[in-house]
Structure 1
Amino acid sequence: MPENRPITAAALSTAAPSLVLDEVGALVSRLYGIDGSVKSLAGERDQNCCIETADGTRYVVKISNPSEPVSVVDFQIAALDHIARVSPDQPVPRVVRTLSGRTRDTVALADGLQTTVRMLTYLDGVQIRETPRTAAQRRAMGTVLAKLNLALRDFTHPSAMHNLLWNVSAAHRLTAKLDGIVDASRRALAELFMSRFSDHVLPRLASVRAQVIHNDYHLYNVLVAPDDHERILGIIDFGDMLYAPLVGEVATAAAFHMTGNADPFEGPAQFVGAYHATLPLTEIEQEIITDLMATRHLITALISEWRAARYPENRAYIMRHNPAAWEALSQMAALSRNEARDRLLTEVRKG
């Protein structure tokens, strides 16, 4: 059974490392024997860079937030290695070993702190957010996520249940952040969905399946072929992975499909229907999935508002999902729980 630790905000309260690119290049050369150009990649907690060699081969080097326990980094590495063993066709990055055969090493930061460095293969493809949304693409995303979850179903690790605020099943631990919402109408909206979570989801969580999940499967983290936007080439960013209710994985992913159609439930219903066809949801999971979809929007709003105030220099990245989250909560507040659930499960119930 995974180790149970209290949820803390340490990783979201500590600034990401900021090595200059020349330092990153020298670090990669020393540890991996790989030389190439270095460019920055976006990230919330860690420093991420792309290394491109003279022959065009690319890698991603990740310098962890100094608050991230090494055990959690090892958990993420072990999960990718597990997927590579049990389901090698999964479109996920591979862990690159150092010259000495290690899966990670350490790097000294400017303030004297030490943190973890690791490298992954770079996956080619176009982020889905840059492509037109289609029903076939949403269904492909649902199917691929279900297969990823099946690959992770038997994976365990001592640090799988680690400290992470981005966990819809622990949303009640963000209740204190409701007071940080300045706008009264938005605060009332957030309070409504926090109450809905506490009343309808929390009592049922002990009755649903739990396993290691990706927990951040959205339009930024799924890559498709440039010439075929329904063919998924990559799943990236396993930094929010943890042991949690499986239905929270599906709800989190479905939440990002509410935009782009006149009916905000059309896209999520297509996604959930395809997921269910590969990895069926139980009756209890079907009962609370829509509540958890709303909960994902709720924690997005709460965490992004808090972090944008704390790190204004990274505001654009932190707030990228914030407007859509508030819009989705407003749309869902106009419906009863039962009506929202029935609209989300349209394709599930067709089968």
Structure 2
Amino acid sequence: MPAASQDGAATLSSAPPALDAGEASAVAARLFGVDAAATLLASERDQNFRLDGGAGESWLLKVSNPSEPADIVDLQVAALDHIHARAPGAPVPRVLRNRQGDATAAIRLPDGRRTCVRLLTYLEGLPVRGTPRTRAQRVSLGRALAGLDRALDGFSHPAASHDLMWNVAHADRLAGMIDQVATGARAAMLHAFMNRFRAVQPQLARLRRQVIHNDCHLFNVLVAHDDDTRVTGIIDFGDLIEAPLVGEVATGAAYQLRGTDDPLGAVAEFVAAYHAVLPLDAGEREIVAELMATRHLVTVLITEWRVKRYPENRDYILRHNPESWNALFLMADMGSAALRDRVLSGIDTGDLR
């Protein structure tokens, strides 16, 4: 892969930790004083365990990938602390402290590698991915993401500008992957979308930047069991990064295409809802649709590349892959202007009641 992305690929290229449930329970008890049964949750590059205590309490134990730098973990901890200080009611996990009052603790994995663990509150809810998609839900999701970004506004951290393969603003660094993962017409389509991104990339330098979640897909947003339009959680801050704010909207919008007869109309509803809470300026509106397409391009490239290295985790790695291919096919014959106008059509109507 391109040399420019080597540092950012380190965590994706490193085998995830491999604690079993019993070991996770022991770690939680020893370091955090939590006596609970552990259940392994699906993850790509780290490990997450749900901890259930006897009194009905639940927590989340996060075991970082050993290649994850300590300052990146600290970035995630500091961001969550900032959000809770700025917006106490925000639907994000709270970082808990261990017996020494620290947010993280070091452990040695069974294979000898060292890493760190964290304990978070566990947010109840259903992943949006498993619920019926409706306009009301998309409006709720757009508003919730905008509220999160408002809470993150003003947050800074020395590690926030770290290298990250999933940063859509630097998608051009993945261009060398195209001919590794696709051939023929598919490769030609990917090259075409990469060229479209390169055409708008210079505009990013003029747009506002801040720390963003950067991974607001439908598994990372939870809704209430009794009301699938009420957001109860935005989780997984592993892709947190300082980047153009418009990349946040584009990433969230990219996952609104499924579960509807009018995919781009659904995207327009989400973007308009975000805009109603945190208005996009003219430059951001001009390129948000193209960056949405670029997110699908990045998804295809990274997942096709990564699954070749970790085929045992194929189902999890490729969970967004088919939809990203479908999204690219859907948009391939649309010019940038037509795509932009369709995605912004909800802003023009202003009807979000």
TM-score w.r.t. the length of structure 2 is 0.96
Q: Is the 8 A contact 1:142 1:271 kept in 2?
A: yes
* Number of the residue aligned with 2:68: 68
Alpha-carbon distance between aligned partners in 2 of 1:193 and 1:286, rounded to the nearest angstrom: 19
Deviation at 1:183, TM superposition (A): 3.3
2:221·2:233 contact (CA, 8 Å) conserved in 1? yes
Report the counterpart of residue 271 of structure 2 in structure 1. Answer: 272
1:153-204 per-position Cα deviation (integer Å, ceiling 9, x unaligned)? 010000011121111001011111112123321111110110110112x110
Report deviation, 1:36: 1.1
Tell me the residue number matched to 1:245: 244
Q: Which amino acid letter does the alignment assign opposite residue 283 of structure 1?
A: A
Q: Which residue of 2 aligns with 1:27?
A: 27
**Partner SS for 1:116:** strand
- CA–CA distance in structure 2, aligned partners of residues 54 and 162 of structure 1: 40
Match of residue 49 from structure 2: 49
In the aligned structure 2, how far is the partner of 1:183 from the partner of 1:176?
A: 13
| In structure 1, distance between residues paired with 2:39 and 2:263 | 37
Runs of 4+ in 1 over 6 A off after TM superposition: none
Name 1:326's counterpart in structure 2. Answer: 325
Q: Distance in 2 between matches of 1:43 and 1:133?
A: 24
Q: Report the counterpart of residue 281 of structure 2 in structure 1.
A: 282
- Work out the CA distance in 2 between the residues paired with 1:264 and 1:229: 19
Deviations 1:204-244 (CA, angstroms, capped at 9, x unpaired): 01111110000111110111111111111111111111101
Identify the residue that residue 95 of structure 2 maps to in structure 1.
95
Residue 178 (structure 1) aligns with? 178
* 2:119 counterpart letter in structure 1: M
| 2:311 counterpart letter in structure 1 | P
More divergent stretch after superposition (175-184 vs 249-258): 175-184
Residue identity in the other structure for 2:327: A
Contact 1:210 1:246 in 2 (8 A): yes
Match for residue 314 of structure 1? 313
Query: Cα offset for 1:6?
Result: 8.0
Q: Equivalent residue of 1:85, what SS? A: helix
Determine the C-alpha separation between the residues in 2 that align with 1:231 and 1:299: 29
Task: Give unpaired runs (5+ residues) of structure 2.
Answer: none
Instruction: Supply the AA of the counterpart residue of 1:125.
Output: G
Q: d(CA) in 1 for partners of 2:135 and 2:239?
A: 27
| Partner Cα distance (1:60, 1:272) in 2 | 31
CA-to-aligned-CA distance 1:305-346 (integer Å, 9 cap, x gap): 011111000000000000000110011111111111000000
Q: Deviations over 1:74-120 (max 9, x none)?
A: 00000000011110010100001001111000010233221111110
The residue that corresponds to 2:109 in the other structure is 109
**Superposed CA offset, 1:259-299 (max 9, x none):** 22222201110000000011110111111101100000000
- Larger CA deviation: 333-342 vs 110-119: 110-119
Deviation of 1:130 after TM superposition, in Å, equals 1.0
Contact 1:7 1:162 in 2 (8 A): no
3-state DSSP of counterpart to 2:163: coil
**One-letter amino acid matched to 2:348:** R
Which sections of structure 1, spanning at least 5 residues, go unmatched? none
Distance 2:6 2:14 in 1: 18
Asked if the contact 2:133–2:260 (Cα under 8 Å) also holds between the matched residues in 1, the reply is no
Identity across matched positions, percent: 51
Q: Distance in 1 between matches of 2:31 and 2:8?
A: 32
CA distance in 2, matches of 1:7, 1:169: 16
- Structure 2 matches for 1:1-351, cutoff 5 A? 8-200=8-200, 202-351=201-350
Contact 1:223 1:233 (8 Å CA) reproduced: yes
Q: TM-score, normalised by structure 1?
A: 0.97
How many residue pairs get matched? 346
TM superposition shift of 1:350: 2.1
Rounded to whole Å, the distance in 2 between the matches of 1:58 and 1:249 is 30
- The alignment yields a C-alpha RMSD, in angstroms, of 1.1
Q: Is the 8 A contact 2:208 2:245 kept in 1?
A: yes
Q: Are residues 270 and 302 of structure 1, via their aligned partners in 2, closer, same or farther at CA, if it must alter by over 3 Å?
A: same
When residues 134 and 330 of structure 1 are mapped into structure 2, their CA distance, relative to the original with a 3 A threshold, is same
Which residue identity does 1:129 align to in structure 2? R
d(CA) in 2 for partners of 1:182 and 1:214?
29
2: CA distance between counterparts of 1:261 and 1:229? 16
SS in structure 2 of the partner of residue 180 of structure 1: helix
Preserved CA contact (<8 Å) 2:132 2:259 = no
- Find the residue that maps to 1:265 and give its secondary structure: helix
Tell me how far apart the structure 2 counterparts of residues 7 and 268 of structure 1 sit (CA, whole Å).
33
- TM-aligned CA deviation for residue 7 of structure 1: 5.2
